[in-house]
Structure 1
Amino acid sequence: MVSVLGPVDVPLRDEKMDEATVEVVVRPSMGVPTTKEKLMEQTLRKAIEPVILGGMMPRTLVQIVVQVLKDDGSVIAASLNAMSLALVDAGVPMKFMIASMSCMIDRTTNEIVMDPTTKELENASSVHTFAFDNLSPTPNILLSDSRGDFTQKQYFECHDKCHNAVEKVHGFLRMAVNSKKEKEYQQLSNE
């Protein structure tokens, strides 16, 4: 679950004169954030910050809070997709929408598994998460997060499969935005 607050006033110590400050907060399902969540915050912020048109909102703060309800694998990809929808819903100006996909290479079969679950990740030799924009016909990578042992050939195979899958994710995001706008329009028409 993702919420977006902003643009709002920013504390002076965090203020940027020519653009908005983007803050990403990751909250675990239980307990207090650990170094895992702090690393995830940094990864998500680096991927989403270039997407936001911060120059249109100088000296403000855009805070994005990611509440992980259940981690069933691919949590970074799911978080980026939810962040993209939440930013659109909040009306934050963006250059484009971001969509993400994760995959893994199975340790025993060397096959690529798309959108792996936590159970599948136990048998992964490597895990890859990619994020792409929705404008470029050629892959424009916004995030490449790869962990584990893999060859260059395997990396590019994962990249290509994730890029193909992200086209479907972009279609789903577009459908979700259109559906929400239609519901809002119907509610306004009924009043």
Structure 2
Amino acid sequence: MVSRPDRRDDNSQLRAFSASQNILNRADGSSKFEFGSTSVMCSVSGPVEVQIRDEKLDEATVEVVVRPAKGIPTTKEKLMESMLRTAFEPVILGGMMPRTLVQIVVQVIKDDGCILAAAVNAITIALLDAGIPMKHMAAAITVMIDQDDELVLDPTAVELENAKSVHTYSFDNSNTRPFVLLSDSEGVFSEEEYFSCHDLCFEAVEKVHGFLRIAVESKKNKEQQQTIGH
């Protein structure tokens, strides 16, 4: 039996998920998503007026801002912004909102590993909370290969210190073969190891998709009950 720092007993076991929605009054949509101790908050504003220099005639402009838990943004946050924007631009139905801006702000609360995956999941919930039309629902998960060449799913910050390589994948939830929306890999690895990590995340991400669906549906049910109550 494997013994992990947070008492998980299997390398393919995910940490507990937690999600909440509609937590910020001034945003059109907001969320908080947690993988164990890793915690991210997200706000979505839009569709709103866009500056002329950023305006797109046939679709919405998607802007992503990532704020670290402490201090000012660094190159790491700027890279995350670029990856998240690239992942969500094809998911958001921007053609239904031309000449507008959808602004996504990600606030890192605590990084105990897998912060990029947590950000993807938080953004998905916040976009749904804001009523932004989307083709699919994005979900993400991270796996690492340790110094013993073992694949470790959803690693903590302590486990990542022993990583040879780290891989984050985001998939949509289409009924056919799910599409990779984001693939980020760091470290030294072979092509075979890359695809092994891909396949493991592909199997595990269904649990995240299922959790996101339940979170969104439970909020809808509560809203319907409140409407009926009035």
- Does 1:21 pair with 2:91? no
Aligned twin of 1:9: 49
1:152 Cα offset (Å): 1.1
Residue identity matched to 2:211: F
Cα distance in structure 2, aligned partners of 1:151 and 1:31: 36
Cα distance in structure 1, aligned partners of 2:75 and 2:58: 31
- Does 1:71 pair with 2:71? no
Residue aligned with 2:125, SS: helix
Please point out which of 123, 139, 144 is paired with 1:83. Answer: 123
More helix by share: 1
Cα distance in structure 2, aligned partners of 1:148 and 1:53: 34
Identity of aligned residues (%): 66
Aligned twin of 2:165: 126
Cα distance in structure 2, aligned partners of 1:39 and 1:153: 26
Give a deviation string over 1:113-147, Cα, whole Å, max 9, x none.
10111111000000000011101442411111111
Please point out which of 162, 169, 172 is paired with 2:211. Answer: 172
Aligned twin of 1:190: 229
Please point out which of 133, 138, 141 is paired with 2:177. Answer: 138
Give a deviation string over 1:57-115, Cα, whole Å, max 9, x none.
000000000000001110010100110111111000101101111000011x2110101
Residue identity matched to 1:63: Q
Aligned twin of 1:147: 186
Please point out which of 97, 101, 117 is paired with 2:156. Answer: 117
Cα distance in structure 1, aligned partners of 2:76 and 2:103: 19
Aligned twin of 2:89: 49
Cα distance in structure 2, aligned partners of 1:183 and 1:117: 33
Cα distance in structure 1, aligned partners of 2:192 and 2:178: 17
- Greater Cα shift, 57-66 or 130-139: 130-139
Residue identity matched to 2:48: V
Query: Which consecutive aligned stretches of 4+ in structure 1 deviate over 4 angstroms post-superposition?
Result: none
Cα distance in structure 2, aligned partners of 1:139 and 1:15: 31
Unaligned 5+ segments in structure 2 are 1-40
Residue aligned with 1:50, SS: coil
Cα distance in structure 2, aligned partners of 1:4 and 1:89: 9
Give a deviation string over 1:144-170, Cα, whole Å, max 9, x none.
111111111111110000000011111
- Does 1:99 pair with 2:139? yes
Residue aligned with 2:87, SS: helix
Query: How many residue pairs are counted as aligned between the two chains?
Result: 190
